[in-house]
Amino acid sequence: MPTTLDRRTVAAGFLAGGAAAALPRVARAQAPAPLAKTIPSTEEKIPAVGLGTWITFNVGDDADLRKDCVAVMAAFFEAGGRMIDSSPMYGSAQAVVGAGLEALGSPKPLFAAEKVWTSSDGPAQIEATRKLWGVPRFDLLQVHNLLSWEAHLDTLFAMKDAGKLRYVGVTTSEGRRHGELEKIMAAKPLDFVQLTYNPVDREAEQRLLPLARERGIAVIVNRPFQQGDLTARLEGQPLPALAEPLGATSWAQLILKFIVSHPAVTSAIPATSRVDHVRENLAAAAGPLPDEPTRTKIAAEIVKL
């Protein structure tokens, strides 16, 4: 069920939601759409860059910072983004996403990705999360960091069978419990896994990414910028010559191009509090992508610095 992005629907939604203030005053020249990758279990297409919300969207009740988040979301949808990822662990991020969606008039392209976390009562936590987002149902629910994964997966598969959920996944980050994740991927009919992968953290290439391809599991990549540490470290360093033919104008774009060009990767979900960064991140998936030898060179350049 390939989904084409309809920008007019998005724009209409924004205006209906009365979020005109959050939108750029002059319509921006339409940026090329980001590359769409296929979710193996349904063949649905999804843009290769999404939006994370850890820390950046945890702004509590601060009205100005909430407006900034709405602006980031507006720019994200405007640039063709779809997947927003959050978790009950992220403080007020879920409520901020929910308020943002409301302000933007519930943008149709949204692909809502959430998690079920420590709570022993998974269904109650999921319902509380759904209310915060203000969506009828989630596209994807993931077991956060494999916590109580057996029980939570039972819940999620039951929800999927009942048509209350479209996709089921499991997350980890920074290389934690890869062995266990591998076993779950081999044994359970997962639609998605979420893990850390970037030019510096490449352990997933060994077993998990090949296994995801073999088993037809979509891969979401978290911490593409090592929570900002990687981009901060590279800041000010001149870009290598290989960046130009790829159309990459920043290290952030080069990193994202490296990640999403891996054949097993479906979507990377960088978090940002800045409109210019969200545009830059989406644009990374719109231009040319590196082939395998160039990917190796990108990683070598970054590791060197």
Ligand X SMILES: NC(=O)c1ccc[n+]([C@@H]2O[C@H](COP(=O)([O-])OP(=O)(O)OC[C@H]3O[C@@H](n4cnc5c(N)ncnc54)[C@H](OP(=O)(O)O)[C@@H]3O)[C@@H](O)[C@H]2O)c1
Residues that bind ligand X (CB under 6 A): 52-54, 56, 85, 144-145, 171-173, 194, 222-228, 231, 252, 269-274, 277, 280-281
Dihedral sign computed on CA atoms, order 242, 245, 249, 250: negative
Q: Which of 273, 294, 295, 297 binds another protein (CB under 8 A)?
A: 273
92 makes contact, choosing from another protein, ligand X, none, with CB < 5 to 8 Å by partner type, with another protein
Q: How far is the CB of 65 from another protein (least distance, A)?
A: 6
Interface mask (CB under 8 A) for another protein, residues 181-220, using x and -?
A: ----------------------------------------
Q: Which is nearer to ligand X, 19 or 75 (CB)?
A: 75
DSSP string, 40-59: TTTTEEEESB-EE-TTTT--
Judged by CB under 8 A, does residue 60 bind another protein?
yes
106 makes contact, choosing from ligand X, another protein, none, with CB < 5 to 8 Å by partner type, with none
* Sequence-distant (≥ 6) Cβ neighbours of residue 297 within 8 angstroms: 240, 242, 290
Q: Which of 35, 36, 56, 130 binds another protein (CB under 8 A)?
A: 56
91 makes contact, choosing from ligand X, another protein, none, with CB < 5 to 8 Å by partner type, with another protein
Judged by CB under 8 A, does residue 247 bind another protein?
no
* Sequence-distant (≥ 6) Cβ neighbours of residue 113 within 8 angstroms: 50, 83, 84, 85, 86, 138, 139, 140, 141, 142, 169, 220, 269
Judged by CB under 8 A, does residue 119 bind another protein?
no
User: Which tokens sit at 242?
Assistant: 């290989």
CA–CA distance, 234 with 256 (Å, rounded to integer): 14
Judged by CB under 8 A, does residue 174 bind another protein?
yes
The CB-side HSE value for 225 (13 A sphere, CA atoms) comes to 24
**Helix H segments across the chain?**
7-16, 63-78, 93-103, 122-133, 149-161, 178-187, 208-215, 229-234, 243-246, 251-260, 275-284, 292-304
Q: Which is nearer to ligand X, 207 or 274 (CB)?
A: 274
List interacting residues with another protein (CB under 8 A). Answer: 55-56, 58-62, 64-65, 89-92, 174-177, 227, 273
